[in-house]
Chains A and B, each alone.
Chain A
Amino acid sequence: MAALLGANALMLVSGLGLMPLLGVARSWRLLLFRCGLAYLCGIVLVGIVSAHLALVHVEFGWIGLGLLAALSLGLCAWRLSGTERPVWRRPDWIDAAGLTALVALTIDFGRAFRVAPLNRYDAWAIWALKGHALYAFGWADPAVFAGATYRFANLDYPLLLPSLEAVDFRTMGAFDPRLLHVQFLLFLVAAVLALFALMRDRVPSVVLWLSLLALALAPAVFDQLLTAYADLPLALVFGVGVGAAGRWVLTNERWALALATLCFAGALLTKNEGSLFVLAVFLGLVAVAHARWRVLAVAAAADVLLLLPWRIYVHSHHLHDINYSFGDSFDYEHVRGRFGVGPIAFRTLAGQMLDPQHWGLLVPIFVLLLVASLLTGARALPFFALVWTVVAWLGLSWIYVISRYEYSSYLDSTKERVVASIVVGGAALAPLLAAESWARLSARDRGRARIGAG
């Protein structure tokens, strides 16, 4: 456990060093103010670097982590030298209470994550198998990662999560399928801290912490993280990206888009479905911020570039998705025979997202805030939220149409987890939508008061 936590501490340091390079922190003061973003940035950075190195036969363990942490910290110190120093301020009591609740939740959940067995099919057959193979062979050896007998393991899925698992195994010195689960819990901690740091200067503390706790406590978050599947890590990384993109829509701060780009690269390299979600978000961004198309194009190009090495590996080894192919969208006979599946999948996924026993009231609150935001006259943020969620929802439903599997079994076995990215992304935007509506209502109230007084 100490080795796992030590590795994660180095990831945190790497992320901290990355923040000035992303433009998130332009001074020591801002670095401290936004340091909550460091952990998730570090996890994503280590995941991306180790996943790429795995393609060229380079192991990433203690030495790699140490070098990356030292390098990013050195660059950080160089970049921030001579900038404004942080000043001690008494912490906000609501923030202190929120952080205490997060610590308590982590300790409580940790009791289950420390003892969870690796017994769910996708967890061992896809993710842990690849993580173990990366650890054992030191790289994405085609004997396994392109082997015909390993096709069941969704070989075309990208390597961020198995690479992180392999980094953990290397630092622990063994393939430990038990402690593996703790890394998934740490994903949640990193994402909650990141969302807090991302929005703390735009959203009232009470609303922000209640939103974050409502997300972290959602039973589906606990259940799905405990399975050691990739869907929730994907959702959390993607959710922070959505939050950052939402902030960029409102404020046009470059650092927010840079952060979103990093998170979307992480999402693209976590699971194939990440491509659908990231595409949906970029469509939403183009819809509401087309005037800023140049920076959007740069962000999209950076994400494509980061995905490219893996796509080259997939292409060169002739790996294909065994579950579906978007190319089948053009197979008219196939699609015509399954067209009725679309509405069924659309309704079923909606039911999943709205199920309070899985997600609490996250989605109803998100929809309510989206409508409230529109009614108060906001346009960019709610339209962004509307476009990406609807596109992602339609896209997921379409997968069931084009898949060759018997749809009801496929839908039943995946419906709970595929919606995670939409729900978490929506939950990540909810505090921003609330703050936006609040600001507009307050302005209206002040206007009325002025007129009344006049």
Chain B
Amino acid sequence: MEGRLQGDPRPPGRPPVRLTFVAAVVLVAALAASALLSANEVRRHVAQAVAHDSRLTPVERQHAAGDRLGLDPAPFDTFRLELRPRERYAVDVPPGGKGPFITRGAVVRAYAAFYFLPAIQVGRAERVFRYRFR
């Protein structure tokens, strides 16, 4: 600006460089690139998820969490059939191997707590769910 006021050699009729235009083009290009990059990646994720998950049978879907943990579904199903809502039960499971955060036994307790709802897991009860690792 100072140069202009003090005698900028550029002809006065010439429009100034449109920084706004350049910035806008760069921004729109970057946003479009991000959207396209992501769309290309996420397309594969969607396709993989649909291909894998739509093939699951109702039983596989019901035990999806246990299967992911490598748990045998049969003892869980058998015990669940005998449970009534709000009935108290305890879990008898050996500690098993130690994972990064909790033991295998603790994972079984957690899965039982989820799978046996609306029955309620407690420390001690007459009804006991027994699980042994193969």
Contact = CB atoms under 8 A, between A and B. Distances in A.
Report which residue of A125, A149, A152, A445 has the largest number of chain B beta carbons within 10 angstroms of its beta carbon.
A149
Interface in B2-58: 4-5, 12, 14-16, 18-20, 23-24, 27-28, 30-35, 37-39, 41-42, 45-46, 49-50, 53-54, 56
Interface string A215-236: 0011100110010000000000
A214 B30 CA distance: 10
A109 B34 contact: no
Contacts of A222: 42, 45-46
A147 B120 CA distance: 9
Interface string B45-84: 1100110011010001100110110000000000000000
A214 B120 contact: no
B35 A210 contact: yes
A177 B1 CA distance: 65
Interface range for A: 35 or more
B118 A445 contact: no
B97 interface: no
A445 to B, nearest CB: 5
B109 A149 contact: yes
Contact of B49 (A116, A124, A147, A368): A116
Contact of A211 (B12, B31, B114): B31
A378 interface: no
Interface in A406-454: 406, 409-410, 413, 434, 437-438, 441-442, 444-445, 447-449, 451-453
Given A129-B117, A214-B34, A451-B1, A115 B20 contact: no
A137 interface: yes
Contacts of B16: 445, 448-449, 452
Interface residues of B, number: 56
A369 interface: yes
B14 to A, nearest CB: 8
Given A409-B100, A445-B20, 6 more contacts: A116-B53, A129-B113, A136-B117, A150-B113, A207-B27, A222-B42
10 contacts: A112-B49, A115-B50, A136-B85, A147-B121, A148-B123, A150-B113, A152-B109, A214-B31, A222-B42, A445-B20
Interface of B: 1, 4-5, 12, 14-16, 18-20, 23-24, 27-28, 30-35, 37-39, 41-42, 45-46, 49-50, 53-54, 56, 60-61, 64-65, 67-68, 85-86, 91, 100-102, 106, 109-111, 113-114, 117-118, 120-123
